[in-house]
Chain A
Amino acid sequence: MKGVGETEERLRLLAAARRGDGRAFRALFAPDLDLAWRIALRIAGEPVGADDALQEGLISAYRALDRVEPRNLRGWFVRIVQNAARDALRRERRRPTLPIRSGEGSDGSDERGAVAEPQAGAASDPVLAAERGELAGELAAALEQIPEERRTAILLYDVDGYDYAEIAEITGCSVGTVKSRISRGREELRRLLAGLRPGTNPGDQALRGRDD
């Protein structure tokens, strides 16, 4: 696991990046770009917003390289991108603009399907694709109603598959806090998903958890 003790290679890259080596800077954060982008996407809600947040985060990280402690560079970088995405969202809320949409999804839950990459299995089976789209839409709608830090912790654990320690490193809080956020977030999700499908309790099987 990376983090508290950064690898020699990463420290070397950090030193080179501080001296102005662009390639070293790129190599330093290349392994974290996907994770940071996904987290930004979950805040911004659209790939363009996540791209912008990632770009802003990289610029901020480069400017702050001299001041960063050489510990947990991944968590530091992810949080910079996360903050950039939040700031962009705040700016957007202050100055709402009409989005340009290429798709024709009428309700909000179809937006995920519109930007999603076509999956190999789903393309061959339209029923499976529709069912998956429905489930994803339900979860997305429920996730929007829970606080951001719990949403991030649940998605990192249940969707991305990181363990508690890694999530603690990424989000910059303790393992106990991560466990608490996941536990409370799941309870809320179960309640919300049960409300979406009266008669069944999809939350019980949806995010039953890896530790059950």
Chain B
Amino acid sequence: MINDRRPPAAEHADAYRASEPTRQRDPFAAPTLQVALASETERRAKHQRSGRIGLLVNLFINAPRAGLASAALSLAVLLATLPTGGVLRMDGGGESALQAPLSVASTPTIGAASPEGSTEAPSADAKAADPFEAAEPLDEAGGLPWLTIIGGAGLLFSLILIERSRRRRHA
């Protein structure tokens, strides 16, 4: 918005203004600009179409290397500790140590080992003989849940770091 209150004293300024060229070309008519804007529009549309997978790929591409390395390490720790903790025990009979005592009476194979007609839960000896029970390895590896927790916390921390970095870059 031009200020009209300017006094007409400045001869140099007036002369300068009079000698200054004015814009002649319409930048939007230039083919270079039209092509650049069209390609940018296309890129944006493609980006929108790619949806969540595209966002994830972009997140990985733009993530700081340190954050990614930390996340990978934490994930490796998490995966290495998980099988010895909970997942492996699921492989044998599809039950965890906590679920087994509750369902043992209704399982035909285990039910056959107990006295006929008995509705009581199996004794401590029967439990110990059960090949699907894995209470001992869990006790032996008492430190393992800690590694899992550390791995999980590390992974969470790395993801927060990556997200913070993305937001800072975005801002």
Q: A residues engaging B (CB < 8 A)?
A: 1-2, 20, 22, 25-26, 33-34, 37-38, 41, 47, 50-51, 54-55, 58-59, 62-63, 67, 112-113, 115-117, 119, 122, 131-136, 138-140, 155, 158-163, 166, 193, 202, 205-208, 210
18 additional A-B pairs beyond A34-B23, A55-B32, A210-B5, beta carbons within 8 Å, are A34-B22, A41-B21, A47-B23, A54-B23, A59-B37, A62-B36, A62-B40, A135-B16, A136-B12, A158-B13, A159-B13, A160-B2, A162-B1, A162-B3, A206-B10, A206-B11, A207-B10, A210-B7
Contact A159 B17 (CB under 8 A): yes
Within 8 A of A (CB), among B45-78: 45
B6: chain A residues within 8 A (beta carbon): 158, 161, 210
Contact B24 A139 (CB under 8 A): no
Q: Which of A1, A113, A139 has the most CB of B within 10 A?
A: A139
21 CB contacts below 8 A, A to B, read A20-B44, A22-B41, A25-B37, A33-B23, A33-B27, A37-B23, A38-B20, A47-B21, A51-B25, A54-B27, A58-B27, A113-B19, A122-B18, A135-B15, A155-B16, A159-B13, A159-B16, A162-B1, A163-B3, A166-B3, A205-B9
Number of interface residues of B (CB under 8 A): 36
**CA of A206 to CA of B24 in the docked complex: distance in angstroms?**
29
Per-position 1/0 for B146-171, Cβ under 8 A of A:
00000000000000000000000010
| B124 at interface by CB-CB < 8 Å | no
Contact A119 B7 (CB under 8 A): no
Interface of B is mostly: helix
Contact A116 B40 (CB under 8 A): no
With contacts A20-B44, A116-B21 taken as known, whether A136 is within 8 angstroms of B16 at the C-beta atoms is: yes
A208: chain B residues within 8 A (beta carbon): 9-10
B130 to chain A, nearest CB (A): 60
With contacts A158-B10, A163-B3, A207-B12 taken as known, whether A133 is within 8 angstroms of B19 at the C-beta atoms is: yes
Find the A residue at minimum CB distance from B22: A117
B28: chain A residues within 8 A (beta carbon): 26, 58
